[in-house]
Amino acid sequence: MQALPSLGVPADQVLAEIAALRAGDLPTHGGRLFAYVYDPGESGVEELALAAHAMGAPVNGLDPTAFPSLLAMENAVVGAASALLGGGPDGVGSVVGNLTSGGTESLILAVKAARDAHPSTSPTLVTPSTAHPAFAKAASYLRVRPVVVPVSATTLRPSPMDIAAAVTDDTVLVACSAPSYAHGVVDPVPQIAAAALARGVRCHVDACFGGWTLPYLRRLGVPVPSFDFSVPGVTSVSVDLHKYGYCPKGVSVLLHRDESLRAPQYFAFADWPGYTMVNPTIASTRSGGPIAAAYATLRYLGDAGYLRLAAAAVSAVRSLASAISTVDGLRLMVEPESTVVVFTSSDPALDLFVLADELAARGWHTQPQLAYADLPRTIHLTVTAAVEPQVPGFRSDLAAAVAAARASGPVSVDAGLLEFAAALTPDQLTTETVAALASGLGFSLDASASSGSPLPERRADINTLVEAASIPVREALFGAFLSLLQRPTY
C-alpha cells in the first residue's frame, strides 16, 4: 500500500480502498463486538454525529477565542457532564472541566494537576489493582510512583482501610473506579474519598467507562452507590463521551470540584518569540470534530435518549448474565452492577480461551482477560444498547460454543514451551526472538498485507502462552510485537 502516489487517485477510488481495508476490521456495529466500540444501535445518531464532526473538524481548539463555536460547545457539553455527575445548579455549583481526547488523557491530566499541586520529591499515586492502566501510564509519564492496593478476589474491590494505609505525606492522588473496566464494579467511593480527605489528598473517580450510564441506571432502579461530586472528598471525575455517551471517538470530560483544583492542569508558555501558548489539555492543536460531534450527539439523544439506551443496555446485561449463569461450567465473576458481564470457567474441562475462539468463530467477539494475581482468567463483555436485540442469538451460539469447547477440550500447548514462557525475562525478548515466536504461532507479520488481522483466528494457545509469562514479559512481548507490526510500507 502506498499512501503518496506520484499522481493523485480519484476520490471514489480512495474511498473504495478504505472500504476494502475496513472490511478486515471487527464489526463496529450490530452488537456482536463486546469491547472497543459503543454502538447505540439506533439509526440517525452516528449519521448526525459524523455530519457535525465534519463541520467542526476544520476548526482549531488551540485558541477558543478565535473559534468561539468550540468554546460554546465545549462549555455546554462540560455543563451536561457536570450536572449528570453531581455538579451544576442542583449540585456542587463550582465544578469546572474540559474536554480531552479520551480517558487516558483525562487521567493523565488529573494526575498532573494533583502532582503539580502537591510538591514532593517522591510523589505517589494510590490506586486499586483494578484501576485502568492509564493511571500506570500517567505515573510513568509524570514520574509519580504507583502504589497499587490489591482487590478482594470475591468483591473485586479494594478495602478502604488498605487504601487509607497506603496514603502517605507523598501521596498526590488517590484514585478509584466507577465502575472498573475489567469487572464493571463500583469501588467504595465514599470511604475511599473520606480516607483521602482526612489526609488532605485529592481523590479522582475514574468514571470514564460507565460514568455516563450509572446515573441513568440509578433512575431505572438499579442500586448504584454514590460515586460522584455528591461524595465529600471527591476532587475530580472523568467520564468518556466516546464510550457510553455514544459519541464518535476522541472525546472525554475531565471535571474538577472547583477552579483552584483545575488551575495546575493548564500549561502556559510565553518565553519565546511566537504566540503565547495556553492549553488545558495535552494536545495543543485540537480538532473541533469530536467536540462538535459530542455536542450534536448529546443534543440529539437528550436525557430521554440516554435513559432509553441505558434501559436497553441493562436489559441486555440481565439476559446475558442469566444466559451465562445457566451454562454448566460457567460462573459469573460478580453479579453485574453496571454494563459489564464478566465470567469465568468453573470446570477445568471447559477452557475459557477455547470458548472465546468458538464464540469468535460464530461471530461473537469477546475479550478474554488473562489470570492475574489471585483472579482467574475471565471473559469480559462490554454491553451496549446495540446488544439487546442480539441476546437470543448469543444465547444459542453460547450453548453451541460451550459444547464445541468441551468437545475439543483444553488447548494443548507444549509443556516445554510453557516452561520457556514462564522462565523468560524481558531482556531475552529481542526483535528476532519475538518475530520467531510470532510466526511460530501463526501471526502474519507481512506489513504489506493490506487486510485482515495479523493474528490467527484461533488464539487459545497464544493466550495460554502469554498467561504463563510474567507480567514484565507480557508487557515486553506485546510492545515488541506491536513494534514489529508498525513498520512503514512503501
Ligand X SMILES: Cc1ncc(COP(=O)(O)O)c(C=O)c1O
Please report, as ranges, the residues that interact with ligand X according to CB under 6 A: 102-104, 107, 132, 134, 177, 181, 206, 208-209, 240, 252
Q: Which residues contact 247 (CB under 8 A, 6 or more apart)?
A: 49, 241, 290, 293, 294, 297, 298
Instruction: Spell out a b/e string for 100-122, using b for 16 or more CB atoms within 10 Å of the CB, else e.
Output: bbbbbbbbbbbbbbbbbbbeeee
Q: In the bound complex, what is the minimum distance in angstroms from residue 247's beta carbon to ligand X?
A: 11
- Give the DSSP H/E element, type plus range, for residue 97: strand 96-100
Rounded CA gap, 286 and 189, in Å?
33
Which residue sits closest to ligand X, CB atoms considered?
103
Of 211 and 357, CB closest to ligand X: 211
Q: Which is nearer to ligand X, 181 or 229 (CB)?
A: 181
| Amino acid symbol at 441 | L
Instruction: Kindly tell me which of 248 and 429 has the beta carbon lying closer to ligand X.
Output: 248
Q: Which is nearer to ligand X, 240 or 388 (CB)?
A: 240
In the complex, least distance from residue 250 CB atom to ligand X, rounded to whole angstroms: 9
Cβ distance to ligand X smaller for residue 115 or 183: 183
Nearest CB to ligand X, comparing residues 81 and 208: 208
Q: What angle do CA 346, 351, 356 make, to 5 degrees?
A: 110
Q: Where are the beta strands (DSSP E) in 194-350?
A: 202-206, 236-240, 252-256, 267-269, 277-279, 330-332, 340-345
3-state secondary structure of 213: coil
Residue with cell 446475558: 320
Q: To 10 degrees, the CA torsion angle through 309, 324, 471, 249?
A: -20
What is the nearest approach in angstroms of ligand X to the Cβ of residue 395? 26
Q: How far is the CB of 434 from ligand X (least distance, A)?
A: 25
Nearest approach, Cβ of residue 20 and ligand X (Å): 27
- Nearer Cβ to ligand X (211/280): 211
Q: What is the rounded end-to-end Cα distance, in angstroms, of the chain?
A: 7
- Smallest gap from Cβ 151 to ligand X, in A, equals 14
Q: Least Å distance between CB 36 and ligand X?
A: 9
